[in-house]
Structure 1
Amino acid sequence: MRAAQLFDLTGRVALVTGASSGLGARFARVLAANGAAVVLVARRAGRLDAMRAEIEAGDGRVLTVSADVLDRAAMRAAYDAAERAFGPVTVLVNNAGIVHSDRALDLSEEGWRQVLATNLDAVFFWAQEGARRMTAAKTAGSIINIASILGLGAGKGVAAYAAAKAGVIQLTRALALELAFKGVRVNAIAPGWFVTDANRDYLASSAGDKIKRAIPVGRFGQDGDLDGALLLLASEAGRFMTGTTIVVDGGQVVALPG
């Protein structure tokens, strides 16, 4: 089979959370460019409108839903809207997340719970709802959870984020084990440092220079560096993969001490 056929997503319906900017926006563009109908979920309606116009200009099929991933009623409404527009969701990209920079002794209970709720709880509930609908529709599906290398090796000032992303990796394994016989694959991608709106200023600082020096390939992640992992897990190319976490970090985890 030719690569173009192997990675083709024609007929798939992909829902991406946190799709209005950053990695989520890139995931949406790539899925649409490879044939999937895409459902973009995020809070910022204006940015979603811009994304919709861009994808439609490239002849993509797209639906936008303005919703907070912590709102369970909005979550169910997003899946309902996707089904009305395109049919059952068969690819879920659990991408929405927030970051923090509080040291452990300064992190408030509210801050801790907000990070865990967005970065771990929402991942579970969107995956749970997606899997329920995939199995009810008797259609094979792929759930792709976006983790982080900080779920594999912690740093200072990211206690809640690191704990949540480590939880995402273990949750991915647990869900994969339970859902495999139902035809639903569950995998994760653990990106390294990619420049986004959320960290652009930080990575441009002296702290960013220090991080870059610790990346064996000598640079931060760029647009396109996650495309291959995404398409592998979303398409027939990855049909025998479940429960795995693909690390895309320029070798940074390999270079960690110990």
Structure 2
Amino acid sequence: MSDLMQPFSMAGKTVLVADATTRLGAHFARLISFAGARVAIGAPHASQLEQLAADLRWEGGEVLTVSLDSAHRPSIEAALVAVEERFGSVDVLINNSAEREHIALNNQIVHCTSLHMIKAERGGSIVNIDPPPRPISEPNPCLRPNSSLIRMSRAMAQSLTPHRIRVNVIAAGRDKDAGLQELNGPLLLLASGAGASVTGAVLHIDNRNS
């Protein structure tokens, strides 16, 4: 890897992808694994992730599947313990929970993971994925009102700064399935050391212009 791209490397990092059963979650898991991270992929039923895990291992990745219900604290805590036992403490959370339900995020997974990061004293990054707004009449995704996820992320970014934990948001464009590749750069920026000074940001991705 060239010196120019080195800051985007995820080598040596442990990443938890919440709800990797969706197309977006699976894409993020593949991307982050390709960048060199140890990847834990979660879903309420871990058996749903067996094919994705097999694909990532075939490509040379280090992968762990965990049962993870992002709305229930005991499930989250058990998943974090399982990840820590296998790979060490979580360095990055890719929180894709809001896509599956398309509802305001229950912040349990963000809260629990941030506490584990604080305890580990290694800093970290939390990347929340805000799904597209439902109303099709909205002219520009950058003009959509701040969601509860965005408001929560900005508040947590401020409170977690002393612990070197960054919290940012990727606000996907409406046609999220057609433009997955356009999310690669923003995700790697926010998850890797390349974005070490970025927190409280909301990156709006409008793939209708591609």
The normalised TM-score by structure 1 is 0.72
Structure-2 separation of matches of 1:51 and 1:136:
30
Structure-2 separation of matches of 1:176 and 1:195:
25
Task: Please point out which of 232, 247, 251 is paired with 2:204.
Answer: 247
Q: Which portions of structure 1, spanning 4 or more consecutive aligned residues, are displaced by more than 4 angstroms?
A: none
Matched, 1:145 2:161: no
- Give the C-alpha shift of residue 242 in structure 1: 0.2
Matched, 1:231 2:181: no
Would the alpha carbon gap of residues 195 and 243 (structure 1) be closer, same or farther in structure 2, given more than 3 Å must change? closer
The CA RMSD measured in Å over matched residues stands at: 2.4
* Greater Cα shift, 30-39 or 140-149: 140-149
2:67 corresponds in structure 1 to 66
1:89 corresponds in structure 2 to 90
Give CA-to-partner distance per residue, 1:166-212, whole Å, 9 cap, x none: 0111111100000011100000000012354xxxxxxxxxxxxxxxx
Give CA-to-partner distance per residue, 1:10-52, whole Å, 9 cap, x none: 1111001110231000000000100110110113434300011
Conserved? CA contact 1:148–1:165, under 8 Å? no
Conserved? CA contact 2:98–2:131, under 8 Å? no
Unaligned runs of 5+ in 1: 100-113, 158-162, 197-220, 253-258
Alignment of 1:51-200 (within 5 A): 51-98=52-99, 116=103, 119-121=104-106, 124-150=107-133, 155=135, 166-194=147-175, 196=177
Structure-1 separation of matches of 2:94 and 2:200:
15
**DSSP 3-state at the match of 2:82:** helix
Structure-1 separation of matches of 2:99 and 2:5:
34
Structure-2 separation of matches of 1:164 and 1:129:
27
Unaligned runs of 5+ in 2: 138-143
Would the alpha carbon gap of residues 20 and 81 (structure 1) be closer, same or farther in structure 2, given more than 3 Å must change? same
Conserved? CA contact 1:192–1:250, under 8 Å? yes
- Give the C-alpha shift of residue 65 in structure 1: 1.1
What amino acid does structure 1 have at the position aligned with 2:159? E
Conserved? CA contact 1:142–1:185, under 8 Å? yes
2:140 corresponds in structure 1 to none
Which structure's CA Rg is the greater one? 1
What amino acid does structure 2 have at the position aligned with 1:229? P
- Give the C-alpha shift of residue 225 in structure 1: 1.2
- Give the C-alpha shift of residue 156 in structure 1: 6.4
**DSSP 3-state at the match of 1:16:** strand
Structure-2 separation of matches of 1:164 and 1:23:
22
Structure-1 separation of matches of 2:7 and 2:136:
41
Would the alpha carbon gap of residues 156 and 92 (structure 1) be closer, same or farther in structure 2, given more than 3 Å must change? same
* Greater Cα shift, 136-145 or 40-49: 40-49
Give CA-to-partner distance per residue, 1:137-183, whole Å, 9 cap, x none: 11110000011452xxx6269xxxxx997011111110000001110
Structure-2 separation of matches of 1:15 and 1:181:
22
2:13 corresponds in structure 1 to 12
1:214 corresponds in structure 2 to none
**DSSP 3-state at the match of 2:158:** helix
What amino acid does structure 2 have at the position aligned with 1:192? G
Percent identity over the alignment is 35
